[in-house]
């Protein structure tokens, strides 16, 4: 949320620097309401500012943010498009391109998302969020092209297959662990009273370590799987 607020306030300052005629009082009022997550009320203030200056980068950008938070993807996209001839040449062009990419992802327009995140990366190569979203959008576009528009379905199928593979690996590992435990139990029975309490404790510890190692492997596979999903970024 800190980065989101910083972006809005900064754009308000940029608007004043460029000499735009937007009523700064209304933009600031919208910013205060946005900070309180009163997105509908903020939207009203931003729309008032847009009426006074339809090409205000601050008002349109912030209006897009408020609409995005209300899951109005179409409205957010239109607000950003209103300044498409101005914002890309401004000091906050990377943020504008990034938000264009976020809207495109929500609309499943992966080609537009790839283009937007690419533009953001050209301006801010160090932005890891933009890089991850670019990779995700590119993957979804490839899936969409290969599957005739079923990008999300293909991803779900891949996730299910990965989960099945993990379950199979887990079952095999459990079977191996059980076999190892059975072998150790047979050895313990054969030795009977010859095993000291200290040796018995060591054997128990070895079994527990093996179980923990198996659990760690499963958790790592799940973590790797989650990394392949889209990483969202606050506006």
Q: Are residues 96 and 174 in the same domain?
A: no
The domain in which residue 92 lies consists of 2-147
Question: Looking at the structure, do residues 110 and 60 belong to the same domain, yes or no?
Answer: yes
pLDDT tens, the chain, 235 aa long: 233 323 444 345 444 343 344 468 889 999 999 999 999 999 999 999 999 999 999 999 999 999 999 999 999 999 999 999 999 999 889 999 999 999 999 999 999 999 999 999 999 999 999 999 999 999 999 998 987 554 455 555 555 555 555 555 555 666 666 666 666 666 655 555 555 667 767 776 777 777 777 777 766 765 555 554 445 454 5
What pLDDT shows up at residue 118? Answer: 95
Q: Are 84 and 115 in contact (CB under 8 A)?
A: no
Same domain assignment for residues 105 and 186: no
Q: Answer for the pair 177, 210: CB distance below 8 angstroms, yes or no.
A: yes
SS (H, E, C) 179-230: HHHHHHHHHHHHHHHHCCHHHHHHHHHHHHHHHHHHHHHHHHHHHHHHHCCC
pLDDT of residue 24: 83
Q: Helical H runs in the chain? A: 2-17, 24-35, 39-52, 57-69, 73-81, 93-106, 110-123, 128-147, 151-191, 197-227
Residue 232 lies in a domain: no
Residues 140 and 156 in one domain: no
**Residue 233 in domain:** no
Whether residue 51 contacts residue 27, with contact meaning beta carbons closer than 8 Å, is answered with: no
Six token digits for residue 152: 């999300």
Residues 143 and 203 in one domain: no
Q: What is the domain count for the chain?
A: 2
| 62 and 159 part of one domain | no
Residue 29 belongs to some domain of the structure: yes
Single residue among 123, 147, 171 that ends a domain in this structure: 147
Last residue of a domain, one of 115, 147, 179: 147
pLDDT computed for residue 5 by the predictor: 29
Residue at 235 is within a domain: no
Looking at the structure, tell me whether residues 187 and 118 fall in a common domain: no
Q: How many CB atoms lie within 10 A of CB 117?
A: 28
The answer to whether position 190 is within a domain reads yes
- Give yes or no for a contact between 133 and 127, defined as CB atoms under 8 angstroms apart: no
Length of the chain (residues): 235
**Domain CATH number, residue 41:** 1.25.40.10
Residue 234 located in a structural domain: no
């Amino acid at each position: 949320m800190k980065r989101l607020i910083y972006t809005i306030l900064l754009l308000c300052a940029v608007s004043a620097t460029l000499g735009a005629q937007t009523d700064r009082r209304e933009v600031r009022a919208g910013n205060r309401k946005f900070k309180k997550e009163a997105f509908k009320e903020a939207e009203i203030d931003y729309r008032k500012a847009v009426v006074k200056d339809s090409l205000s980068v601050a008002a349109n950008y912030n209006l897009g943010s408020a609409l995005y938070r209300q899951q109005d993807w179409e409205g957010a996209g239109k607000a950003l498009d209103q300044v498409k001839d101005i914002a890309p040449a401004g000091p906050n062009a990377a943020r504008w391109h990034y938000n264009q990419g976020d809207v495109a992802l929500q609309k499943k327009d992966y080609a537009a998302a790839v283009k937007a995140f690419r533009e953001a990366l050209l301006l801010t190569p160090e932005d890891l969020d933009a890089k991850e979203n670019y990779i995700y959008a590119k993957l979804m576009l490839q899936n969409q092209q290969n599957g005739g528009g079923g990008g999300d379905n293909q991803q779900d199928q891949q996730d299910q297959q990965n989960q099945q593979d993990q379950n199979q690996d887990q079952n095999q590992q459990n079977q191996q662990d059980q076999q190892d435990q059975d072998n150790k139990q047979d050895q313990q029975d054969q030795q009977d009273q010859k095993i000291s309490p200290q040796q018995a404790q060591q054997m128990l510890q070895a079994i527990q370590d093996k179980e923990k190692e198996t659990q760690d492997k499963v958790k790592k596979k799940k973590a790797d799987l989650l990394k392949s999903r889209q990483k969202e970024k606050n506006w």
